Structure 1
Amino acid sequence: MLTAFRWLLRIFTGLVLLVLMALAVAYFFLSRSLPDYSESFTLEGVTAPVEIVRNNANVPHIFGATDEDVYYALGFAHAQDRLWQMTMLRRTAQGRLSEIFGDRTLRIDELLRRLDLYNLSIRSVEAQDAPTRTALDAYARGVNAWIGEVNARARGRGAPEMFFFSSDIAAWQPADSIAVIKLMALQLSAHVGTEVLRARTSLLLPDARLRDILPDDPGQAITALPDYSDLMPGVLPGQPSTRLAGDPLSPVKDRAFAGASNAWAAAPERSAASGSLLANDPHLGFTAPAIWYLARLELQSGGVIGGTIPGIPAILVGRSDRLGWALTSSYLDDQDVMIEEINPDNPEEYRTPSGWAGFETRRSIITVKDRDPVTITLRWTENGPVLPGSHFDLGTITPQGHVAALAWTALSDADTSMTSALRLMQAQDIPGAIEAGRLYIAPAQNLMLADRDGVALQLIGAMPARDSGHQTQGRMPSLGALPENRWLGRMDYDRNFRVVNPGTGLLGNTNNKTVDRPFPDHVSFEWGDTHRIRRWLNLMQTREVHTRESFIEAQLDTVSPIARAALPLIGADLWFTGEPAPDGTPERFRQQALELLAEWNGEMNEHLPEPLIYSAWLRALQNRLIRDEMGPLADEFTHPDPVFIERVFRDTEGAAKWCDVIQSAEIETCTDIARMALDEALIRLRETYGPTMASWRWGDAHQATHDHPVLGEVPLLRYFVNIRQSTSGGDSTLMRGRTSGTEPEPFLNVHGAGYRGVYDFADPDSSVFILSTGQSGHPLSRHYDDLGVLWRRGEYIMMSLDPELARAAAVGITRITPRQVAPAP
């Protein structure tokens, strides 16, 4: 027995040693791609010595003799810290994910090939002005210089992910940077999905009920639309969804996550220190690392600092000494679905206003890992690319003998958005920044500006010019052969919404409606917010003057205006009614929940049970209200809509009809449905979080999911690459934490502010910023998640343009000197 024990101990010890050795070897190879920030390089492509000074947050401060050298160094720094992220963005835009991920990403590649974003980007390079082409070339040389170092010096293939998904890294091209902008436009555009959903819903519901479940922004009158079944005979309701948005590698997002953000500004007269203030927190899906990367560039026009996206050589949100700029999603309606009729005698032709015309056709071969290549036929009409029914649920609303084409402003082969971004970064004042926006195409954004003298808001992005007689006003798919449905080009930039130095001295946008102009000058019928703006107005109006701290307080505000408005409506007949119930009964449990909610101020604090009870109640309530009328289509409405809930409980236009269960013999009231929904929510919460209500925490359900889009689902590895944090906030708080809305964890925080910045022009170097993860994309780097710890606590780091401050707290200085190239003989 003793001998057997000794052998077992030896075997166990040997296995442990083997595992430790394997881990040590793995760590050695994976850590080879960690850059040394104090290293010096002699490289081709720069004209004079360049310094990349990284402060203690690993933010690169780049100093060079020329702008060209600075852009080169930014490309070098981006590649050092985010090479895998950059290559993935490029592969996505090119439609080449399946080369390394196989069948999983085939539909994503097919969509990107049909949209042809990458070829459009190649052609758009020549549309840029000369300084922008120079910047793109220099940036690409910087990226490629680091790739060259990786290959020449065995630096762990540049990123740990390269060991799991071995692939050669192609040289970076100027078109790659433009393609990243177009990819962001796809991620931030949701009107095609909204059009399809409205059409699908209209096939099931009468017009009055359609206005309930897909409500217009309150206060805006909409002319009645034709029934979709009349426009497209033969389309049947209730067809199954073919959603593409579920994969974390997909750039296509559900309408709930298509884009959001906050920005507000105060003119000097509304600032306590008599200097303009500007705050910005753009919202995107959470990933590890975050999409944002902080950088400071010392250009000939002056220093600029703020948020970049790796792959793009520009400070997209940030400030200089003279100007601050911020972005929010504008919700401009820049997409239309066109239903094209196919010639029954010749499937290679489609109907146009002047008769049948041939599709523009070519083939594209998609290489797929572990299987034969897939060849697809790409077709374009005069309106745009033809998309298959398997994308955006288009098959559910396209009649037989027709196909769907997409008209979209981003499908331009002369896209000058990059030139606009670089000009904006070098603008010296608000008029210069507004003029820089003239060349911007997509994604459409609200540009918030502040300089030393004032504030402004400018809608940037190409606005489609539509005919006033458009059949659906762009709200649903329409027949592409009818002239009145076709675009008439673009509107003049001067018709874009603009406000400069308002009399109140305050400007703000939370994706709320900005204009109330009639169609076709309307900007959009769909807006991203109707409630957060109310909370912002309340916070702004409580003070005569503002400070950096009051702007930070607003960014971190977690009070839900929806909770304050909805709970008195849905619980009006439930509070303080009935006799006290015995402990342990469902009735008593409900009473305890109602007692907590009655005393709650609507603060979505991670340590409280009330936000969890409220959120689960509204989720169960909306599902009960719509499930019997809508069936499987109810799955498309993943988040409770406060306007819908309010319409139902106020019985607006007979909306209380939703409360009666069609399949039930009884006539249920809204009070009945509210009570049943609360009981259902409490049962589910009890099963998940235990029987003690006081121990429930919103933060346990509302964890921020900064997951690695590739390795985040791999067993064991997920614990090293995913960043999970308990967070406050919710769907409709200013510190927005959009929930997933899908089972089994519907309250995970999956979409929010990956970047926050507050700039004070009374003391510019006191400006602050933060990222939701860290600067590095390398899981073994201490800068992979270091800023995320501060972000979760609502803290910031200083945002100074003083070079001495950067040097004083430097974690390393990378020096690049030019290599002398011998002249040709």
Structure 2
Amino acid sequence: MAFAFRWLLRIFSGLVVLLALALVTGYWFASRSLPDYDRTLKVAGVSAPVEIVRNNANVPHIFAETDADVFFGLGFAHAQDRLWQMTMLRRTAQGRLSEIFGQRTVRIDELLRRLDLYNLSVQSVRAQDPQTLAALEAYAAGVNAWLAEVNEGALGRGAPEMFLFSNQLAPWQPADSIAVIKLMALQLAGHLEEEVLRARSSLILPNERLQDILPDSPGAGIAAMPEYAELFPTVPRYTAGLDLPHDPLMPAQPRGFAGASNAWAAAPSRSAAGGTLLANDPHLGFSAPTIWYLARLELQSGGVIGGTIPGMPVVLAGRSEGFAWGITSSYLDDQDVYIEQLNPDDPSQVLTPEGYAPMTSRSSIITVNDADPVTVQLQWTQNGPVLPRHLFDLGTITPPGHVTSLAWTALSPADTSLSAALALMQAKTVEEGLAAGEGFIAPSQNLTMIDGENIALKTIGAMPKRDARHQTQGRIPTPGWETVNRWQGRMNYSSNPEFVAPAGGILGNTNNKTVERPFPLHVSHHYGDTQRVQRWRFLMQNREVHTRESFIEAQLDEVSPTARALLPLVAADLWFTGESAPEGTPARRRQEALLLLAEWNGEMNEHRPEPLIYSAWMRALQDRLIRDELGPLAQEYTHVEPLFIERVYRDIFGASAWCDVLQSAPTETCTDIARLALDDALVWIDEAHGGTLESLRWGDAHEATHDHQVLGTVPVLNWVVNIRQSTSGGDNTLLRGRTLGSGAEPFLNVHGAGYRGVYDLADPDSSVFITSTGQSGHPLSRHYDDLGVLWRRGEYILMSLDPALARAASVGITTLAPEN
């Protein structure tokens, strides 16, 4: 017995030693790619020494004698901190993920190959102005200088992920930067999914009920569209979608996640300090690290500081000495889906207004790790690329003998968006900013700007020119062979909505509808917000003058106007009714929940139970309302649509008909459904969270999920690479934390403000900003998540252009000296 015990002890001790050695070895290899920020390096590609001064938050302040050398320094800094992220962005745009990840990403590569984004980026290089081309080339040289340093210094392949997914890195090219902005356009595009869902729903619902579940943003009504079944009679009434899980590597986002944001500005007349104010927080899907990277560039035109995206040599949102700008998703309708009729005698041809014409076609081979390569036949019609039936559930709305194509502004071979962004970054006034926006193609944004005296908001991005006789006004897929449905180029830039120096001294955007204009000047039928704007309007008008602090308070406001509006409607006949129910019964638990909600002010605070009860109730309520009418299609409606709930409970145009369950004999009232849904919600809460209602915490369900896109699901490693934090806010608060909407944890916070900035031009150096993780993409760096701690608490760091402040507490100064 003693002999066996000794040997077991020796084996266990040996395993512990081996495990420790493995961990130490792994840590040593991974730590090799941690950059040393306090070095002098000789590099090829700079004309004079470049200084990269990193302040105590690891924000690089880049100084050089020429603009080209500054952009070189930015490329070097981006590659130092975010090489893996940049590599993934480029591979995604190229449709080459499967070379690393195998079968998992074939569907993603196929989509990117069919859209041909990378080839369009290569062609767009020629369209850039000389200044932008020089910046792109200098930036690429800076990235490649760091790659050379990694190779020569054996610096752990530049990122720890490279050890797990070994591959060769090609030099960075100017086209790669253009591909990144096109990839962002794909991430922010959402009208394709909206058109498909509307078409699928219209095959099941009458037009008046379709307007309930997919309501137009408030404003003048839209004329009734033709029934989809009338346009394409051979489409089945209901066809199940593929229900494929969303891969975090997929740049095309599910419906409801196509991008959001907040921005608002105050003129001197509405500012306590007499200067202009601007607050901006762009919303994108969360990841570790965040897509945003803070940087300061000291250009010949002056200093610029703000949020960049690794891979592009521009500050996309930020400020200079006397000018600041912010961006929000405009929801401009820049996509149209077309149904193309194949020639029954020659499937390589589709019907056009002039008769059948051949599609452009070429083969593309996707190399797949540990599997046979996949050959994809890429086809384009006159309207755009042909997309297969298994993507975006297009097969559910495509008749036999037809294919589906996509028209999209981002599919331009002469995309000058980067040139426009560079010009905007160097603008000095609102007038110059407005002029710079003309060259912007995609993604379309609402650009909010301030200078020393003026404020303005302008929608930038190409607006498709449609025929006023368009059969569906771009709301659902249309016959691609009809001339009236085809695009006729782009609208003049002057047609884009513009607001300059408003009389009230305040303007802003929460992805809400900005103009009411008849089609085809309509901008969009679908917007990203009908709720947050109500709270924003109240906060802006509640004060005569604003300060940096009041703008910060608005940015962090966690009150849900939706909860305040819906609860009195839905619970009108449930409040304080009947006698007390016995302890431990469902009726007693329902009374307890209603009592909590009755005393709640709508704050979606992470420490309170009411936000969880409210959210679970509204989610269960919508599901009960739509499940019998829509059947399996109900699973596509993952988030509560406030206007739908309001229409039903106000019985607008007979919308209360949704409350009656079609399959049951009794006639259910809306009060019945509200009560049953509350019981459903409380059962779910008990199963998912347990405990008393008073002990629930919204933050336990609403964790911000900054997960590593590749390693985030790997056991053990996910503890190191994922950043999870309890957060306040929700789908409809200014402090927006978009919930997942599906699965076992539907209220996880997966999409929100990865960057926040507040700029006060009365005292520019008091401006502040923050990102949601940290500057470094290296999990072993202390700068991997340090800013995330501040972000979660609603804190910021100073946004100063004073070089002395950057140097005073720097974590290092990197000097790039000319090689010769």
Q: TM-score range by the shorter chain?
A: over 0.9
Q: Following the alignment from structure 1 to structure 2, what is the Cα–Cα distance between the partners of residues 300 and 242? A: 54
Q: Following the alignment from structure 1 to structure 2, what is the Cα–Cα distance between the partners of residues 361 and 3? A: 74
Aligned to 1:563: 563
Distance 1:387 1:188, change over 3 A: same
Q: Following the alignment from structure 1 to structure 2, what is the Cα–Cα distance between the partners of residues 496 and 381? A: 28
Aligned to 1:678: 678
Q: Is the 8 A contact 1:244 1:391 kept in 2?
A: no
Q: Give 3-state SS (helix, strand or coil) of 2:539's partner.
A: helix
Q: What residue identity is the alignment partner of 1:316? A: L
Q: Following the alignment from structure 1 to structure 2, what is the Cα–Cα distance between the partners of residues 199 and 809? A: 58
* TM-score relative to the length of structure 2: 0.99
1:454-493 map, 5 Å: 454-493=454-493
Q: Following the alignment from structure 1 to structure 2, what is the Cα–Cα distance between the partners of residues 701 and 245? A: 21
Aligned to 1:591: 591
Aligned to 1:114: 114
Aligned to 2:171: 171
Q: What residue identity is the alignment partner of 1:514? A: T
1:435 counterpart = 2:435:
yes
Aligned to 1:823: none
User: 4+ residue runs of structure 1 moved beyond 6 angstroms?
Assistant: none
1:784 counterpart = 2:788:
no
1:640 counterpart = 2:640:
yes
1:522 counterpart = 2:522:
yes
Aligned to 1:58: 58
Aligned to 1:323: 323
Aligned to 1:77: 77
Q: Give 3-state SS (helix, strand or coil) of 1:774's partner.
A: coil
1:66-465 map, 5 Å: 66-242=66-242, 246-465=246-465
Q: Is the 8 A contact 1:245 1:254 kept in 2?
A: no
Q: What residue identity is the alignment partner of 2:571? A: G
Aligned to 2:577: 577
Q: Is the 8 A contact 1:298 1:304 kept in 2?
A: yes
Q: Following the alignment from structure 1 to structure 2, what is the Cα–Cα distance between the partners of residues 765 and 516? A: 38
Q: Following the alignment from structure 2 to structure 1, what is the Cα–Cα distance between the partners of residues 215 and 346? A: 42
Q: Give 3-state SS (helix, strand or coil) of 1:453's partner.
A: coil
Q: Following the alignment from structure 1 to structure 2, what is the Cα–Cα distance between the partners of residues 269 and 543? A: 12
Q: Give 3-state SS (helix, strand or coil) of 2:41's partner.
A: strand
Q: CA deviation at 1:10?
A: 2.6
Q: Is the 8 A contact 1:569 1:649 kept in 2?
A: yes
Q: More deviation in 9-18 or 625-634?
A: 9-18
Q: What residue identity is the alignment partner of 2:596? A: L
Q: Following the alignment from structure 1 to structure 2, what is the Cα–Cα distance between the partners of residues 4 and 174? A: 66
Aligned to 2:807: 807
Q: Give 3-state SS (helix, strand or coil) of 1:685's partner.
A: helix
Q: Following the alignment from structure 2 to structure 1, what is the Cα–Cα distance between the partners of residues 421 and 403? A: 36
Q: Following the alignment from structure 1 to structure 2, what is the Cα–Cα distance between the partners of residues 299 and 790? A: 29
Aligned to 2:665: 665
Q: Following the alignment from structure 2 to structure 1, what is the Cα–Cα distance between the partners of residues 590 and 631? A: 28
Q: Following the alignment from structure 2 to structure 1, what is the Cα–Cα distance between the partners of residues 372 and 2? A: 58
Q: Following the alignment from structure 1 to structure 2, what is the Cα–Cα distance between the partners of residues 654 and 129? A: 57
Unmatched tracts of structure 2, length 5 or more: none
Q: CA deviation at 1:729?
A: 0.2
Q: What residue identity is the alignment partner of 1:608? A: R
1:605 counterpart = 2:610:
no
Q: CA deviation at 1:593?
A: 0.3
Q: What residue identity is the alignment partner of 1:711? A: L
Q: Following the alignment from structure 1 to structure 2, what is the Cα–Cα distance between the partners of residues 387 and 10? A: 61
Q: Following the alignment from structure 1 to structure 2, what is the Cα–Cα distance between the partners of residues 245 and 443? A: 25
Distance 1:484 1:642, change over 3 A: same
Q: Give 3-state SS (helix, strand or coil) of 1:257's partner.
A: coil
Q: CA deviation at 1:244?
A: 5.9
Q: CA deviation at 1:152?
A: 1.2
Q: Is the 8 A contact 1:114 1:385 kept in 2?
A: yes
Q: Is the 8 A contact 1:755 1:771 kept in 2?
A: yes
The Cα offsets for residues 632-674 of structure 1, whole Å up to 9 and x where unpaired, read as 1000000010000000000000000000011111110000000
Q: Give 3-state SS (helix, strand or coil) of 2:256's partner.
A: helix
Q: CA deviation at 1:805?
A: 0.3
Q: Give 3-state SS (helix, strand or coil) of 2:712's partner.
A: helix
Q: CA deviation at 1:219?
A: 2.2
Aligned to 2:723: 723
How large is the RMSD of aligned CA atoms in angstroms? Answer: 0.8
Q: Give 3-state SS (helix, strand or coil) of 1:255's partner.
A: coil
Q: Following the alignment from structure 2 to structure 1, what is the Cα–Cα distance between the partners of residues 327 and 584? A: 51
Q: Is the 8 A contact 1:245 1:251 kept in 2?
A: no
Q: Is the 8 A contact 1:45 1:138 kept in 2?
A: yes
Q: CA deviation at 1:722?
A: 0.4
The Cα offsets for residues 693-729 of structure 1, whole Å up to 9 and x where unpaired, read as 1111000000000000000010111111000000000
Q: What residue identity is the alignment partner of 2:657? A: K
Q: CA deviation at 1:691?
A: 3.2
Q: CA deviation at 1:11?
A: 2.3
The Cα offsets for residues 597-649 of structure 1, whole Å up to 9 and x where unpaired, read as 00000000000000000000000000000000000100000001000000000
The Cα offsets for residues 311-347 of structure 1, whole Å up to 9 and x where unpaired, read as 0000000000011010000000000011111111111
Aligned to 1:626: 626
Q: Following the alignment from structure 2 to structure 1, what is the Cα–Cα distance between the partners of residues 163 and 241? A: 36
Q: CA deviation at 1:541?
A: 1.0
Q: Give 3-state SS (helix, strand or coil) of 1:405's partner.
A: strand
Q: Following the alignment from structure 2 to structure 1, what is the Cα–Cα distance between the partners of residues 699 and 673? A: 27
Q: Following the alignment from structure 1 to structure 2, what is the Cα–Cα distance between the partners of residues 23 and 632? A: 48
Q: Following the alignment from structure 1 to structure 2, what is the Cα–Cα distance between the partners of residues 149 and 335? A: 43
The Cα offsets for residues 338-383 of structure 1, whole Å up to 9 and x where unpaired, read as 1111111111111111111111111111101111111111111111
How many residues align? The count is 820
Q: Give 3-state SS (helix, strand or coil) of 1:382's partner.
A: coil
Q: CA deviation at 1:692?
A: 1.1
Q: Following the alignment from structure 2 to structure 1, what is the Cα–Cα distance between the partners of residues 458 and 36? A: 42
Q: What residue identity is the alignment partner of 1:396? A: T
